[in-house]
A = this chain, B = another copy of it.
Amino acid sequence: MTRDLTTRNDLKEIVDKYDTILFDCDGVIWEGDLLIPHVKEVLAGLRKMGKRFFFVTNNATKSREANKAKFDKLGIECHVDDIFSSAYASAAYLKNVLNFPAEKKVYVIGEKGIEDELDSVGIRHSGGTDPADNVFIDLMDFSSITSDPEVGAVLCGLDMHLNYKKIAKGCRYLRENEGCHFVATNLDSTFPTHGSTVCGGATIAPLITTMGRQPLVIGKPEAAMLESILKTYDLDKSKILMVGDRLNTDILFGVNGGISTMLVLTGINTRAEAEAEDAVAKPTYIVDSLGDFISVV
């Protein structure tokens, strides 16, 4: 049963109960470039109480450094280690969960954010923003789609430079290289903002169709991102709360990972959607806004 948090006592109880808070950002902390009222003060107050934060985002186009810049600009305290983007989580998952071998490399279908995070964990990579792979090849000229036995994983995220060469190379490695991992940062089909424009799920679709095989998905709502966090830090699941505005990503992510969840109503989903019988996931708590916690911090 979902519980509504309305009184000061309700909110106080939550603050006392959880040590670690995972936040979705868009629709929770900000809306585009605008902070949601009181959220800045609430985050500062929770920090002062010693709460540990993780900002959990499916955006794989930016590195954690680049993600941090937005927090800096809005005047919210944030450390690089607080950010768990699907790009970083994918790199960390390859490194820590799959024990990716040092002599292998990852073929990237995606933007610089993914390359930066592979660099940050010391995994070699090809493809991505390499100018040699960001070209159009001539019709029926497959001469540049060559083998590379060093590729041990194909990692895909939103790639606004997607092209036939990258798709065909990725498929070739997956087909030819034994045990080659097929990993997606996230499968979101459209951006929550930007007028529902095409997102990462679309740019990985050609590989899924060609290979007839599903990738291991790291981003929300899959459990891999949480697994990656739990593997990196030593945390007590019963003291972790996931806060988000979307049932089908944020709340489902928490449910899949076996942690408590709180839906805020400052973003995509409404109270009615959360309470609907066929809701894709039921939050543990609902609160109008993260800003409501101003009364207890």
Say whether B145 contacts A160, CB under 8 Å.
no
Which residues of A53-70 have CB atoms within 8 Å of chain B's CB atoms?
A: 61
Say whether A190 contacts B210, CB under 8 Å.
yes
Say whether B206 contacts A202, CB under 8 Å.
yes
**Complex: how many Å from CA A139 to CA B200?**
12
Say whether B209 contacts A167, CB under 8 Å.
no
Beyond A136-B134, A142-B195, A164-B162, whether A201 also contacts B210 by CB under 8 A is: yes
Say whether A139 contacts B160, CB under 8 Å.
yes
**Complex: how many Å from CA A195 to CA B171?**
11
B residues within 8 A CB of A137?
160
- How big is chain A's contact interface, by range? 35 or more
Interface string of A96-132 (1 = CB under 8 A from B): 0000000000000001000000000000000000000
**Complex: how many Å from CA A87 to CA B164?**
20
Which residues of A149-205 have CB atoms within 8 Å of chain B's CB atoms?
A: 159-164, 167-168, 171-172, 175, 189-190, 194-199, 201-203, 205
B residues within 8 A CB of A272?
none
B residues within 8 A CB of A163?
136, 161-163
- A138 on the interface (CB 8 Å rule)? yes
B residues within 8 A CB of A159?
164
Say whether B197 contacts A209, CB under 8 Å.
no
Say whether B196 contacts A209, CB under 8 Å.
no
B residues within 8 A CB of A196?
175
Chain B min CB distance to A58 (Å): 14
Say whether B210 contacts A208, CB under 8 Å.
no
**Complex: how many Å from CA A203 to CA B202?**
10
Chain B min CB distance to A114 (Å): 12
- A140 on the interface (CB 8 Å rule)? yes
Chain B min CB distance to A275 (Å): 24
**Complex: how many Å from CA A136 to CA B163?**
9
**Complex: how many Å from CA A111 to CA B140?**
11
B residues within 8 A CB of A164?
159-162, 198, 203
B residues within 8 A CB of A201?
209-210
B residues within 8 A CB of A172?
195, 197
In the complex, the 10 A-B pairs of residues with the closest C-beta atoms, listed nearest first: A205-B205, A202-B206, A205-B209, A160-B164, A202-B210, A168-B198, A136-B161, A205-B206, A202-B209, A198-B210
Binding site for B on A (CB under 8 A): 61, 111, 134, 136-140, 142, 145, 159-164, 167-168, 171-172, 175, 189-190, 194-199, 201-203, 205-210, 212
Q: Please, could you name 16 A-B residue pairs with CB atoms under 8 Å apart, sorted by A?
A: A61-B139, A136-B160, A137-B160, A142-B195, A159-B164, A163-B163, A164-B203, A198-B206, A198-B210, A199-B210, A201-B209, A202-B207, A202-B210, A205-B208, A205-B209, A206-B206
